[in-house]
């Protein structure tokens, strides 16, 4: 009898998707198979040191991810992390908003144990599905003594929640850690680490997290993302402010630069109490602050992750 556990939480995605034929990698429906089915399909080693325990938290195509699922997921992750016999957690998730959920959990929980999100680019019914290997690799990371923090495992690569982004619409190796590079690789169940495990002292100092408020979707603030582009103007920002938005992340061009009309509207929004954060639509690099900046930058976060941080900050 194994007394230590790896908990596998299912949330849906292509990894749980099915198509009508094995040759169909596009015309499938995400989030169809239960987490038990996915776990049962994994190869079992009699001498594996941990028991696998599965729990279905949600069953969504991650393009439809919402605050209520995030609230439930955070509560279940916090619950399992608090169990002394749990070594680590694996979360199966769609690829489309995976980086947002990973960053949400990292900022919120800053776990001392490993929380590993994994996914698939092909449905479970594909001729050669990628989900089972990704799950096996994610379990290897979650089982690794010394692993900690929220990571993403896809196509044998371990990414840090802070850096990871989906960068490809189709390839199995769809994620990149950009300039930072991956945390490491999983090779035949062994980890080859290139960088240290994620840790944020700031969140650690904040103490235990109350996930009860998060479960109430109505308690969440409203933060929207606007983009700078040729011909940008004030109208989108003005409409959002009139509609009661609490925060705005702007995906600026280059080093967070903004069309003068958009910048004026954002400064007016900020003066009215709307929290504004300036990020960049560039895939790599970060907004480098300049003397006299009137809009705070995103501290290296992509627009979607800056939005997550701003949401959590606004919720206190």
Does 119 help bind ligand SIN (rule: CB under 6 A)? Answer: yes
Active-site residue, selected from the candidate residues 14, 95, 118, 125: 14
- Helices (H), ranges, the chain: 35-40, 67-81, 98-109, 131-143, 201-204, 235-242, 260-271, 303-314
Q: Which residue, among 148, 158, 165, has the nearest Cα to 182 in the 3D structure?
A: 158
Q: Which residues face 276 on adjacent strands?
A: 248
CB 159 within 8 A of CB 152: yes
Total site size for ligand SIN, rule CB under 6 A: 12
Nearer to ligand SIN, 175 or 197 (CB): 175
Among 92, 96, 234, 240, binds ligand SIN (CB under 6 A): 96
Half-sphere exposure of 165 (CA within 13 A, CB side): 20
Shortest reach from residue 302's CB to ligand SIN, in Å: 17
Catalytic residue flag (residue 18): no
The alpha carbons of the chain give a radius of gyration, in whole angstroms, of 20
Shortest reach from residue 99's CB to ligand SIN, in Å: 11
Per DSSP, the residues of 201-221 read HHHHTT-S---TGGG-GGGS-
Nearer to ligand SIN, 50 or 104 (CB): 104
Nearer to ligand SIN, 12 or 129 (CB): 12
Measured between alpha carbons, how far is residue 52 from residues 38, 231, 312 in Å? 12, 53, 31
The tokens for 98 are 């995976």
Shortest reach from residue 70's CB to ligand SIN, in Å: 14
Helix, strand and coil percent figures for the chain, each rounded to 5: 30, 25, 45
Q: Which residue, among 266, 283, 285, has the nearest Cα to 226 in the 3D structure?
A: 266
User: Interface mask (CB under 6 A) for ligand SIN, residues 43-82, using x and -?
Assistant: ------------------xxx-------------------
Among 14, 92, 228, 280, binds ligand SIN (CB under 6 A): 14
Shortest reach from residue 67's CB to ligand SIN, in Å: 17
CB 81 within 8 A of CB 47: no
Nearer to ligand SIN, 117 or 248 (CB): 117
Q: By CB under 6 A, which span of 11-19, 81-89, 141-149, 202-210 interacts with ligand SIN?
A: 11-19
Return the residues of window 20-49 that contact ligand SIN according to CB under 6 A. Answer: 30
Among 10, 71, 94, 111, binds ligand SIN (CB under 6 A): 94
Q: By CB under 6 A, which span of 89-97, 106-114, 268-276, 304-312 interacts with ligand SIN?
A: 89-97
- Footprint of ligand SIN (CB under 6 A): 12-14, 30, 61-63, 94-96, 119, 121
Residues labelled as active-site residues: 14
């Amino acid at each position: 009898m194994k007394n230590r556990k790896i908990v596998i939480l299912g949330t849906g995605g292509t990894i749980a998707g099915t198509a009508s034929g094995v040759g169909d990698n596009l015309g499938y429906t995400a989030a169809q198979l239960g987490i038990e089915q996915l776990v049962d399909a994994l190869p079992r080693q009699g001498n594996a040191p941990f028991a696998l325990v599965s729990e279905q938290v949600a069953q969504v195509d991650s393009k439809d991810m919402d605050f209520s699922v995030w609230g439930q997921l955070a509560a279940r992750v916090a619950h399992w992390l608090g169990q002394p016999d749990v070594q680590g957690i694996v979360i199966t998730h769609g690829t489309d908003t995976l980086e947002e959920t990973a960053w949400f959990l990292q900022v919120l929980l800053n776990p001392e144990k490993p929380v590993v999100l994994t996914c698939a680019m092909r449905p479970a019914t594909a001729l050669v599905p990628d989900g089972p290997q990704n799950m096996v690799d994610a379990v290897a990371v979650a089982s690794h003594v010394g692993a900690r923090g929220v990571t993403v495992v896809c196509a044998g690569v371990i990414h840090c929640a802070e850096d990871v982004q989906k960068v490809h619409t189709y390839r199995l190796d769809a994620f990149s850690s950009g300039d930072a590079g991956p945390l490491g690789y999983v090779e035949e169940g062994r980890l080859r680490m290139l960088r240290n495990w994620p840790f944020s002292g700031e969140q650690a100092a904040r103490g235990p997290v109350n996930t009860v408020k998060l479960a109430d979707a109505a308690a969440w603030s409203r933060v929207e993302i606007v983009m700078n582009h040729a011909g940008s103007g004030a109208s989108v920002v003005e409409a959002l402010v009139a509609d009661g938005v609490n925060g705005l992340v702007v995906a600026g061009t280059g080093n967070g630069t903004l069309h003068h009309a958009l910048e004026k509207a954002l400064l007016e929004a900020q003066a009215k109490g709307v929290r504004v954060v300036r990020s960049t639509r560039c895939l790599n690099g970060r907004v480098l602050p300049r003397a006299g900046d009137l809009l705070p930058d995103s501290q290296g976060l992509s627009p979607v992750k800056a939005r997550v941080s701003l949401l959590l900050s606004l919720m206190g």
